[in-house]
Amino acid sequence: MINSLTISQAHKKLKAKEISASELTQSCIDRIEAVDEKLNAVVHRNFDRALEHAKEIDAKGKFDHPLTGIPYLAKDVFCEEGVQTTACSNILQKKPPFASAPQASQKASDGRDYVPPFNSTTTKRLNAVGAISLGKTNTDEFTMGASTENSCYGVTRNPWDTERVAGGSSGGSASAVAADECIFALGTDTGGSIRQPAGFCGCTGLRTTYGRTSRYGVMSMASSLDTIGGLTKNVEDYATFLSAIAGQDPKDATTANIPVPDYGKALTGDIKGLKIGLPKEYFIEGIDSEVEAAVREATKTLEGLGATIKEISLPHTQYAIATYYVIISSEISSNMARYDGIRFGHTEDAENLIEHYFNARSSGFGDEVKRRIMLGTFALSAGYYDAYYRQSQKVRALIQQDFINAFKDVDAIVSPVSPTPAFTVGAHENDLLAMYLEDVLTAPQALAGVPALSVPCGFSKTNLPIGLQIMGQQWGEETVLKVGHAYESATDWNTKKPVV
Amino acid sequence: MATLTTDQVRHIAKLARLTLSDAEVKKFTTELTSILEYVDRLQKVDTKNIEPLKNVTGQQNSWREDAVTTDVIDPDALLECSALPIVDRQIKTPSAHG
């Protein structure tokens, strides 16, 4: 089935006219229709437009760019002109969530589904080279979560075991890529939201250096930490994808004026002499023994390829989650202020303006969003700012310094992505901190603004994927991808497929 | 410092424009207190002489030429996203004065 192809395999076949973009698109659509009832990975379907787009591309018949004619799914926070985009939140749609009432009977106080009149820079760049958008994937509401359970559309299931979560918040994208519902998918990573679901579902996912990819047109969670990326079936595909979306954007002033390399050229397979650090603080109590064993085995593979492994220390690791939650909550309380029930989405009847704000926000936001807004409002309020927000930004500086010091001695750092393989749906339902601690190994890189890759490095006895994390210096995506590619070429974990 | 009272939670919710039921106030007070207790470990970190991080990549100002750009979103299309009535190309909201 051609929906299971990688980007590079599909590109070769499209170029040789062995398959058409229409056939490839139809094959992904068929797969979504066959298995998504079990997974709940896709929340908005854009199939008619995708098939039309594919037909246009076939008519042109030119497949010079490696992404031309390649179907993809986007996390439900990427604005796309004319395509419903809701961040899996009730606040960006009419009520009830699955309203079937005819348009004519709709009144203003029912709100309106948000259909953006513009494109994110990422979807614009992808569409410009002829990649085909199939629709939107499930996420925790406004990307706030680590399991895709906090979605108004319900939980996304892991294709390796549908009793388990796909991870989050880019869980829909990871589940869809692992189940071959698309060739690649877009995601966002604020504190692990690409890497953790990639690890849980056995995909490849990279968090880029902050400012490497444009955030324009992607609904914000925490602006100083949000990064844009995706999920692919291998590292080679990721290099192709990243080369197409990275680079400065006049519409996002935090993107850097640093040239984008051809990431594919970095994939030489040669990592001889490379120094790789193993941080002792990442092998703490609570790390599953099978996860630890798989990661230690991976370091042996890297050694076998000529790299040297050295134990290092990132001493402030234990403070990362506390720092991360104060900073993101503060930024969330500010970013979520725009959802006031006036310019878009959900509204409620109200006597006056202030009541309108209260009504729209209280019925539109889910509990996790409310919790973070309130935590941030508190952390930024008079009398508490110094103790919480300012102290967190100081600790963040120390965490960044840990990485700067470590990279004086090593070229890359490896660790597990998550302490355990995918957990069962509902496992953290009554334990907020347990859910927050899912990010314990992925928040530090986010705070330091460094790139980190997740690649599959084994399976648990229960046949669940395990992820290897490879970190690099700021703007060091080439090194990270090179190590990931060399590892992947020496193993076959990334080629395993779940039976859905 | 780590304990929040129900009155504090009511106050925070008001600042954040969120209406909470009594049961929600109770629930969020417990949950937010447990997060703050965890976060309290930050007070133990010695940050003497450490400047707060302001910019993670150290990128400086980003300039563009001072010229008119036409690559903007159509304002009428943005107005259409609102469910509220549009009058004279403005969104009509409930009165701010009640």
Q: Does residue B35 belong to any structural domain of this protein?
A: yes
DSSP secondary-structure letter at B66? Answer: S
- A489: tokens are 């070429």
Buried b (16+ CB within 10 A) or exposed e, A208-227: bbbbbbbbbbbbbbbebbbb
Query: Chain A contacts of B77, Cβ < 8 Å?
Result: 117-118
**How much is the pLDDT for A209?**
98
Tokens 């939650």 found at: A325
- The pLDDT confidence band at residue A166, using thresholds 50, 70 and 90, is very high
pLDDT at A458 over 50: yes
- A281: tokens are 């603080």
Q: Which residues contact A186 (CB under 8 A, 6 or more apart)?
A: A72, A73, A74, A75, A78, A122, A123, A173, A228, A229, A230
E strand or H helix at B86: strand B86-87
Cβ of residue B96 closer than 8 Å to a chain A Cβ: yes
State the pTM of this model: 0.96
Query: Chain A contacts of B78, Cβ < 8 Å?
Result: 117, 343
Query: Chain A contacts of B56, Cβ < 8 Å?
Result: 210, 224, 400, 447-449
Q: Does B20 contact A326 at a Cβ distance shorter than 8 Å? A: no
**How much is the pLDDT for A107?**
62
Q: Does residue B85 belong to any structural domain of this protein?
A: no
Determine whether A310 is an active site residue.
no
Give the count of alpha carbons within 13 A of A343, CB side only.
10
Across A375-387, average pLDDT: 93
Closest Cβ opposite residue B81 in set A112, A373, A375: A112
Q: Does residue B80 belong to any structural domain of this protein?
A: no
Query: Chain B contacts of A400, Cβ < 8 Å?
Result: 53, 56
Cβ of residue A393 closer than 8 Å to a chain B Cβ: yes
Across A261-287, average pLDDT: 95
Share of chain B above pLDDT 70, in %: 97
Q: Does B91 contact A350 at a Cβ distance shorter than 8 Å? A: no
Across A221-236, average pLDDT: 98
Q: Which residues contact A123 (CB under 8 A, 6 or more apart)?
A: A74, A78, A79, A80, A133, A186, A217
Determine whether A394 is an active site residue.
no
Question: pLDDT tens digits, residue range A311-346?
Answer: 999 999 999 999 999 999 999 999 999 999 999 888
Question: pLDDT tens digits, residue range A439-448?
Answer: 999 999 999 9
Which among A194, A199, A274, A201 is positioned nearest to A242, based on CA atoms? A194
Distance separating alpha carbons of residues A247 and A125, to the nearest angstrom = 11
Distance separating alpha carbons of residues A280 and A452, to the nearest angstrom = 17
Distance separating alpha carbons of residues A449 and A472, to the nearest angstrom = 10
Across A472-489, average pLDDT: 98
Q: Does residue B81 belong to any structural domain of this protein?
A: no
Which one is catalytic: A169, A175, A220, A392? Answer: A169
Alpha carbon of A225: minimum distance to chain B alpha carbons (Å): 9
Cβ of residue B89 closer than 8 Å to a chain A Cβ: no
Distance separating alpha carbons of residues A387 and A367, to the nearest angstrom = 25
E strand or H helix at B30: helix B22-39
**How much is the pLDDT for A349?**
84
Per the CB < 8 A criterion, the answer to whether A208 and A227 are in contact is: yes
CATH at B10: 1.10.20.60
- The pLDDT confidence band at residue A297, using thresholds 50, 70 and 90, is very high
- A454: tokens are 């997740």
Q: Which of residues 6-45 of B touch A (CB under 8 A)?
A: 8-9, 12-13, 15-20, 28, 31-32, 34-36, 38-43, 45
Q: Does A344 contact B41 at a Cβ distance shorter than 8 Å? A: no
Query: Does residue B40 sit in helix, strand or coil?
Result: helix
Distance separating alpha carbons of residues A83 and A453, to the nearest angstrom = 30
Cβ of residue A212 closer than 8 Å to a chain B Cβ: no
Q: Does residue B64 belong to any structural domain of this protein?
A: no
Identity of the amino acid at A120: S
pLDDT at B81 over 90: yes
B14, closest residue in chain A (CA to CA): A358
A212, closest residue in chain B (CA to CA): B57
Alpha carbon of B68: minimum distance to chain A alpha carbons (Å): 13
Q: Does residue B25 belong to any structural domain of this protein?
A: yes
Cβ of residue A153 closer than 8 Å to a chain B Cβ: no
Q: Does residue B1 belong to any structural domain of this protein?
A: no
- A252: tokens are 């996002």
Closest Cβ opposite residue B81 in set A114, A352, A361: A114
Cβ of residue A18 closer than 8 Å to a chain B Cβ: no
Share of chain A above pLDDT 70, in %: 97
Cβ of residue B52 closer than 8 Å to a chain A Cβ: yes
Identity of the amino acid at A298: A
Across B2-19, average pLDDT: 94
**How much is the pLDDT for A95?**
72
The total of structural domains in chain B comes to 1
- Top residue of B7, B14, B26, B39 to mutate, by most chain A CBs within 10 Å, is B39
**How much is the pLDDT for A382?**
87
In SS3 terms, chain A reads as: CHHHCCHHHHHHHHHCCCCCHHHHHHHHHHHHHHHHHHHCCEEEECHHHHHHHHHHHHHHCCCCCCCCCCEEEEECCECECCECCCCCCHHHCCCCCCCCCCHHHCCHHHCCCCCCCCCCHHHHHHHHCCCEEEEEECCCHHHCCCCCCCCCCCCCEECCEEEEECCCCCHHHHHHHHCCCCCEEEEEECCCCCHHHHHHHCCEEEECCCCCECCCCECCCCCCCCEEEEEECCHHHHHHHHHHHECCECCECCCCCCCCCCHHHHCCCCCCCCEEEEEHHHCCCCCCHHHHHHHHHHHHHHHHCCCEEEEECCCCHHHHHHHHHHHHHHHHHHHHHHCCCCCCCCCCCCCCHHHHHHHHHHHHCCHHHHHHHHHHHHHCCCCCCHHHHHHHHHHHHHHHHHHHHHCCCCCEEEEECCCCCCCECCCCCCCHHHHHHHHCCCHHHHHHCCCEEEEEEEECCCCCEEEEEEECCCCCHHHHHHHHHHHHHHCCHHHCCCCC
Distance separating alpha carbons of residues A69 and A24, to the nearest angstrom = 8
Determine whether A362 is an active site residue.
no
Q: What are chain A's domains?
A: 2-98+109-495 (3.90.1300.10)
Chain mean pLDDT for chain B: 92
pLDDT at A483 over 50: yes
Look at A185-189, A402-406, B90-94 and tell me which has the smallest mean pLDDT.
B90-94
Distance separating alpha carbons of residues A331 and A380, to the nearest angstrom = 9
Closest Cβ opposite residue A375 in set B35, B41, B50: B35
Across B42-68, average pLDDT: 92
Distance separating alpha carbons of residues A453 and A194, to the nearest angstrom = 9
Residue B27 sits in which domain range?
Answer: 6-44
Which one is catalytic: A193, A329, A415, A460? Answer: A193
Q: Which residues contact A5 (CB under 8 A, 6 or more apart)?
A: A13, A24, A183
pLDDT at A413 over 70: yes
Longest dimension (CA), chain A: 71
**Burial class (CB within 10 angstroms; exposed 0-12, middle 13-18, buried 19+) of A427:** middle
Which among A342, A336, A319 is positioned nearest to A374, based on CA atoms? A336
**How much is the pLDDT for A96?**
60
**How much is the pLDDT for A347?**
84
Cβ of residue A369 closer than 8 Å to a chain B Cβ: no
Question: pLDDT tens digits, residue range A169-224?
Answer: 999 999 999 999 999 999 999 999 999 999 999 999 999 999 999 999 999 999 99
CA A353 to chain centre: 36
Per the CB < 8 A criterion, the answer to whether A352 and B96 are in contact is: yes
**How much is the pLDDT for A98?**
46
Q: Does B43 contact A391 at a Cβ distance shorter than 8 Å? A: yes
Q: Does residue B32 belong to any structural domain of this protein?
A: yes
Per the CB < 8 A criterion, the answer to whether A4 and A180 are in contact is: yes
Across A407-426, average pLDDT: 97
Closest Cβ opposite residue A343 in set B1, B13, B82: B82
Identity of the amino acid at A473: Q
CA distances from A238 to A4, A10, A478 (A): 16, 14, 11
| ipTM reported for the complex, 2 dp | 0.96
- The pLDDT confidence band at residue A45, using thresholds 50, 70 and 90, is very high
Question: pLDDT tens digits, residue range A58-102?
Answer: 999 999 999 999 999 999 999 999 999 999 999 999 876 444 445
Cβ of residue A499 closer than 8 Å to a chain B Cβ: no
